[in-house]
Every structure is written in structure tokens, then in C-alpha cells.
Structure 1
């Protein structure tokens, strides 16, 4: 890794060129402006300064090679998993019912194009015989839940049960109420399983899941317990999967194998990754805000009690509620006290991660039911809380938060089509460090909606990729930087996908050969026809050997044209297994092997040829030219091709057969 010092001009041979001076641990390297393409930014999830390497050492090369190996293994695993899943068969759901259309019409908002496309993708997955495993990524409040509701309804009306899994009790309450409200006109039963259910209620829910009375159950990881059995589970919806623990993720994995799975995530994924995984992992992106949402007004100001008082007062006067976020648990009581003094009679609730979980959850519920005006809290509200009445958020000591945290926190307000306000306060007496000031400036610039997708390029996408590909890969990403890692991953996937040996229906052999069964060898027409059929149907070298033995036995020594016929079939078999669709002369010099294979696949086959032939086999898209082979007789061309292609056959890898 390296550190850029400055851009400078140098005169060489009377020409001025610009160079970038790059600092290594043991010196400076100058890179000409026309070679900037070899540089990539070093971005990681951690805030630590990267360690500079020495120009003279091989550490960086070794690190890159190590990561490249890990990335290649990941790409192979991903592709194999995809191949296995495409072999599985699940339940094919019927086309939409009239109820489905009715439910979708009853959505009180105008669905966005992205929402409609995601819904369409999901339905296509559900109607196909393959089990669905789709990830829907969308910014906070961009309507992922509605997309899930449509899928749930489709599953339930086809007679299947649905489990909706969310990481926190509060989220389950929210999803439960939304689903119940949307399904109210229909004879569908929805249950909720979380910590606030008594033992009796839990038992009741378990019983109704087994009998099939309950169509949808929303719950926390309590749904993953051994005692939970379904009569006929058809769809599993998972909200923010990365927030579940390792053991829970394992349980989710085992549930996933038998049913259709829909995962929702608010952590954005880089479009490049989305594109490169598009053939392997089904994903839908929701990047357009709902029409009713207005951009959140973001104010950046030094802390001033009067500003705080006015901001809270304005929100309470219009019947709303307020989030007041602080960076630490220490002093949270004092801050609440200060707010009480500023606004007499205000009802305050306090929430932070060090509270016992049940107390925390009941506080959150109290607040979401509107029984308190201001929630003074830590970043515990960062994800997943959706309380439409909260339309002002105040963040104290905003410089202490990361960019993605500020972005997520700000996304908690402005859900209800009312103008929302986010206040970022910083201490006025202290000089802010440059980095902190830049962060705050950035968040203020990103006030338009959905800018999460651009802003998140900073640090959230790095997190998103880590969530998607797992912890080990996050480590690899930190070792070489996000950009180079993404480049390697794309290359590996492309290469492995390109390594597949294409399946061709038949191989046409157009060499100028005399290959037929002479009339005087098998005089009987029926016998001759069946002999032709037998040769044409052979699908292995062994079968051809047996046919030849049978002919010698029945009709005597095999004449040359009939031997050629068997050899042509031999060439056909080996060429077909390698993905060549036609073999024909090219002018008087060369022989052409036509093929839909991509270059990475050819690069796998070629090393098995004897070294001296490498330069004679030339790959260009759509064909491989064997140079100079056309100068030999057709018999010799065939003999050589059978010998050379058989050598290549030995290199067919596992992956190539995916």
C-alpha cells in the first residue's frame, strides 16, 4: 500500500510530463500521468491508517496472491451453490389470483417502478419450479415491506404458510401490525411470536402452526426454536439477516433449503457487485423514493440550547414526536433533565443498549404507541424502527458518529410525507478535526433522498459486501482495499463462468473424408441401415470398439471407408464433449473448430496439448484455428485431431461441468 504525496512535473528529453509521487515505507516512486490506471484507492471498513510497504519487499505481492486465492475459492463456492440450487425443485406457485390484484390495488400509495419490478421478479421466482432465494436491497423507507407483503399474500392464497423473521422485537411488532392491517379484509390468520408473548400464547401459536390454522407468523429468532413446527411452510421472509447471530444464521440456513426465501436489507450493495453477481445471486434493488416522501431538511449547527428548544417545540406543536440521539450512555439522564427544564411538561423516554432487553423493548413500545414525546437514546434506533409520527431527529456531538451511522439515523424520520428535520449539532468551542468536519459537510450535502446509494459508497457498501459474502471475506477486503478486492472478485466470477465448457447438440464433421459402408460389405439394406443407426447412436469410445468387433465378426475385415466412418464418430464424440460444434477446412492451410466457448474455457483446455502445438492452436471468439493442419491429407487431419482433442479431454475440470 502507498501514500500519495503530490503531483509534480518533470522535464525529460525536452518534454514535460506530470508524475504522481507516491510514498512507500522506504522511498518514493514516481508514476507517469498516463499510467494512473494501475492505481486504485485503498478503502477499508476500519479506520486504521494503512501500513506502508517497502518498495523492495514482496509483502504486497504476497498479500494480493493470498487474497486472490481466497476470492477464487469464494467464486467457485458461489457458483457451485448456485448450480446445486438450480438443480433443486420446489413448489411452483400458480399465477396471480383476483384477490392478489385486489390486495395490490388497496396499497394506499403509488408503487415506484423499482417496487413493481422487484415484485415481478419475486413472482417469477415463486412461479418457477426452482426454490427462490432473492435479496431485496433498498434504502430505509423505500417500500421493501410492501414488496414482501405481496409475496406473502401470494404464498398464503396458494395454501402455504409464511414465516417472517426480524432481528428485534420492535420490528416484529411493526411488521405484524402492517401485515394484519393489509390482510384485514381477507380470511387469513396472522400470529406474532416474540418475548412479549406469555407461555400460554406461545403454546397456542405453536399449536395453530402445526394444524395449519395460522397462515403467517411474524417473529424474532424465537421462530427458529426446535419446538416450532409448520404444517406446510412455503415462504421464509428475513429482514436484515446480517443482524442475526452466527447460530441463528446457521438455523436460518437449514430452514432455507426446503422453501422459497426472500431477504430484505437496507445496507446498500455496490452496483458493480450487483451486476457481477446477477447470474449467481438473485437480487432486486429499490433505489427510487416513494413519491410522497420529501427530502429531509438537514441542519448543521453548533450546539445551542435555544435552537434545541425551538426544534423540539416546533415538532411537538404539530403533533409529532422527536428522537434525541447522543453518542454515549454516560450522561444520558442529565441530558434528559436539561430537556425537561427547557420544555416543562414534556414526556421523555430513555433508551440505550445497556438497559435490560425487556425494559428497552417496553420503552420502545411506549414511545411508538405515542405515550412519550421525546426519546433520548443512543444509536440503538439506527436501524429498522419505523414510527411515522417522529419527524424531527436531533443528534448531539454529530462529529463522533460515522457517516453511515448519521445517514441511517437520519433515515429514521420523514416516513409520513411530512417535511422532516434532522439537526446535527457539534460543540462550538472546540475546533473540529478536518475529517469530522468533512463528514458533517458530506451528510449535509446528501440531503436528497436515496442519496444513501451514492453516499454509502463511502463506507456502507464495504459493510454491505461484508454482510453478503461473510466475515472471512471482510478480512480479505481489509487486506488489499475494497476497490482492488471488488476487481478481483469480478474477474474470478467472470473467469469461472467463462470456464464452462458449452454444451453443443451435435458436432458437424466437414473434412473431405470417404466414410461410408460399401454395398459389398453389408449387402442387406435393412442390416446396413441398422449398422448406420448403431454407429450414429454410440455415445462412447467403448461402444464404437464393440461395434467394430461385431462387424469384423459378422461381415469380415472392415474396409477402409467403413473404418473411416467409425473414426469420424470417434472424432465427433471427443469434439462434442469439448464444446466444438463444427470441424471444417479453412482454405488450403488450416482447419477450423467452431465453438461457442469463451476464452477462459479454452485456456483450461490448451495446456494439455503438447508444448510444440500451443502456437498452432489459435483462439478467436467463436472458433479455434488449427494452423497448418489443412496441408495434410484428410485421414491424417482426422487422426491428429482425435489424438490432440483426446489429450485435451483429460483436463475437463469440475467447474467446467457446472
Structure 2
């Protein structure tokens, strides 16, 4: 639970007069417009959560762009987790804008499509407290609430629902048929059993039918494919906000006279923006949120962002119909917000009479904890309460040690569903029960000072400068594409593969200016001197060509050769999968040697390890020994970075084999590595009656001859070497 003193720290800020007056007006169902000024981004997020907690009315927060939405969303989620103790309460969400525009003949990224589909469904069902939307997202036209409510698939035991109907619905909301089901968005059907992995679900579902009746619903484990828990009902959320069908794709292709469409009944790049011409969208985001409170974060910046968006849209006159069918203008959107409570929040308001809550950014310390602690002590002496924020338990423990070193007492604050580690609990206890300094677990990068309330928040990036070497949360797959690693190695003339258009030639990076916006694009050349500009934000669509030495033929934009080639490759992959299945079936049927269970010597050998084994080492060794004890041949790959303890796991497996009188061979790629393993094994096995020999060019011919004879007669237990071990003259007496 969040410490009561920490919770009181946040609620102290809700006692400001300007905030109390705003809450009273909203509870009286007044519509405003209202305003609140003087808030930094961190303060805005906190007061949004406090406002929702005081009124319990859903909120739609409109910001100028995706970056502001991500920053505000991250902070809002943090404060929501700390302040809202109800575990069943839905959490805040971001409704992102598309990263591309109509007319660019590209489809939005699948992650954005999925996030929007689930977000719109939540809005339609009233299951979200706070929704944050960039201006470009708020301006998108929508269908009515009932349209999005029907997208989710409800499954309950005892209900009758034809399996064919379920399959058609799953395909329409973006799910793909795969066997076996391993990832979100996949489903499979085997007789009367449906496996499906719903969005935002920790485990996939297994639904068993008796005729058309749902007999049982279970969640199952992906790795073992075994059912783990029975449930009475389940929900499959959509992955796309526009239900798919061959009829829709054909109609969309007809709207552009089938230009660049290989197969009219199949999806093609950009169909999502053409769909509103087929099924017009007459509603807006305002209609979905109902009587929600509308919060405009820096209204002037929102208006400017909307104007920039339409300036870019107007630069594509050939796509004017697409733009009008997909987006409202801001002047059209403002009247749609009328009749709902509106709050304009600003960092700075020139109107001296506007309601105001004073806040300012926290001091930045650039890693100097001595200065940070001195500043915290100075604030406490002035009557402030100071909260340090850390994103993880490890960072909290680090800060706890630092504050204890400087003799600063503190109280600990965690989210309601998390308990303190013994390490943190001990240090919080030693620090004392009463303190004006708090350690709070939460992702607050930049802090803020509230002078009127005598409260100071110090963020994690106020204390330590962010490092580019550390992965930050929230990065999407589109930013971590496989192509990014190859971008620096690409040079004009290299061949690349576009997931939709096939093999092309990379001509370089070009900067394109569209109104006030400019961006970098990859320029690709296709057959017939056709050119394709791919924004660097969509690098996930392109990767370097890795075929043979001969230059590949270029595909034709909009042609069918690439689609046909992919179909042939898929067929070959199915054949390969069949061969692998047969191979593994044969291995499964084959009889191997079943090693004995661990004896005292095995435990003694493992206890003699001079270091504490890691959790992964223990797990890997346990699984390998379990495989060795089974009657089937082991087929396992052990992966790990350099220095992560793979050799120790191998030595434990080797010792187990020796316990049943078997010999062990260790193959190394180089002579030097073989020698290193030889020395390591000798030291590790020194206390046990085990003979270890090395087979490599470091041994003289005479030594090798003697060793080969001893190996044949079983006098050598472990043979370590390079490919020399694969020679015909190397014969083992009983290799395990």
C-alpha cells in the first residue's frame, strides 16, 4: 500500500482554493469553459488524476502532439497507480494519432492500429477514466459508440455461438490464423477447439465446443500448450478499428480505380484511409466520450498543431477527398465539444485574474547527489516536504543507501499493489517513522516545486542525466526495427526488401519539406525507374537484402511478382516445417540412455562452485539434467552472453554423465578456446578422480597417439578439442 503520509502529500495539493473551486463547479454540472494556469507538465498530470478522483467523471485530454501525449500519459499513469487503490479500476490510456497521412499509400503501423482499436472500444464502453489524445487523433472522424462496442468478442460458457461465425469475426478484427498459437493476435481451430491469443491478455484462451455450445474456456501456457486455469467468460479485444472483409477491400480498391492494387479482394497499403469513402464516418471523438470533461492542454498549441496538420493535408490536392473523409478541421471540432465541461490548462496565463496554482520545475543536479541532498535538507528546513521519485526498486534502494549515508530520514511510498522488498523495508525502518523526505516508486522523470503547498518533487532525471546506453520504456517496435542496425552500413546502390513492394534499390536518404514540417525519407528505386519514398519512422517495413551474390531483379511497384514469390516461399516453409516435424517425431520415438538421478557426488560437485550460481544457471542446469534423465535423446541449445556462466552449466552436465560411467566430448571452435576450456575443466574437476585430455595442435603427435589409445579403452573421461575430435581415428569407448 502507498504510505498514508505519501498519500496525504498528494492530497495536500488538492486543497488549493483554485482546484477546490473547479471541482465544486464540475460537481454542480457546470460546463464552463474553465481554466487553470501555472502548471508544469508534472503538475498537470497530478492534477488530472486528482480531478478525476474528486469528480469520478471520465476525462478527454487533448494535447498538441504524440510526444506531449506520451509524456503526459506516462506521468498520469504513475500518479494514477499511486493514488487509486481500487485494483479493478481501469487505467488511463493514450489514443495515438496515425504516423502517416492519407494519400501516402502506406498503412499505419500495426501497434498504433491496435492501440487505437482498443482505445476506441474502451471509450465506447465507458471503461476508461482518462484518455489522452493528440490533436491529429482528436480530429479523426469516428463511427458511433455501438459500432466499436460490437468489435469485441464476448465468450461465455453455455452460450451457443457457431464456430464459423467466431472465426469470421476474429478475421475481421485483425486476428490471423496460425498453428500453434504463440503470439497476440493469432488463433487456430482444431476440430471443436478454438485457440486464440487476445490483445492485452497474459495468456491465450482455449475454447472447447460441443456442437455450437461453448463447453469450457481455459487459459493455457504458450510454451507447454497446456491449460492452466478455467474461466467462465472471456473477452477478445479488437486489433483494428475498421472490420476487414474482402468486400470492403474490393470496394476500397474501386474508389482508387484499382491503381496499384495487385488483388482487389486483398488488403493493400493505405486501404485504412480509403475505407471512410466506402463506410462514411459521421461521428467524432466528442460523441464517444459522452459527458466527459474535456481538458485542453495549452489550447493555443493545439490549434497550431491542427493548422499544421491541415496545411500538410492541403498540400496533397489529389487526396483532398481522403483528407475530408478522415479528418475534421479544428473549427468544426470546437462546436462538437460545446455542452461539455471544458478546462484549459496552461503553464503560463497572461490573464492575471485566471485561476492559478503556482508550480515551477525542480532543480537539476546532473548526478551530484551531495548537492541534491543539500538542496533537500535546505527545503525541509524551510518547511517543505520533499519526494524523490525512482522508477524501479533498484533505484529506490540506491537512493535509500545514499540518504542513509547522509543521515537523511525518509518514508517509503509504493503503489497500492506492491510491497517493499526486505532491503527497502529495513532501511525505511532504520530511517525512522516520521520524516519530511519521501522515497516514492514511480516514473517521474522531471520534478516540480509547489511553493504555496511547500511540497517539492524531484524526478529521476533531475538527479541523474539520462543515458543513451540505457533503454527507456515506451519505445515502440517501429523505432526498434530490424533495418535500423543496417542503416549505417547501407550505401547507394545496395538492394533492400520492402515488406509490401518487394526488392528495390536503395538510392540514399532525402529530406522532404512539407509546409512547416520536414522529415528524412529513404529513396528506393523499383523496376521501370519507379521511385518510392519511405519515411524513416517506418523503417520496420524495410530491411537489407541478404540473398546470393548475383544482383536480384527489381520488383515492379504494384505488380504481382513479389506476392507470388512470397506465396512460393511460404509453401516451401511449410514443407520445411513438415520435414522438421517428422524429424522431431523420429527423435521422440528414438530410445536414448536414461541417466541416473543426482547422487551425493553430483551435489558435492555443484556445491563446490566458488560463486553463487545465478537463477538462470540453476534453471538451465535443472532442465538439462531432466532431459538427461529422460529415455529420449536430448536436443537442447544453451544460449548466453560471454561471462554469463554457460561453462559451469556444461560442467555440471558433464559430471552427471561421468556418474553413469559415460565419456564426455567438448568441441570448441578454436585451439585457444579449447585450451581455455581444458584449463577450466582441470581446475574445476581437480578434487575428483576424473581424467581430462585435450586434442588439438598444442599436443605432439606422440601425445595424441597415446591419448587416442586411452580414449578407446575408456581411460579418458572428458575429451576437449577442436574439430580434431571429429576425425575418423578418434574413437570413444562409451560416449554419453
Q: Quick check: which one's helix share is greater?
A: 1
- TM-score (ref. length: structure 1): 0.32
- TM-score (ref. length: structure 2): 0.28
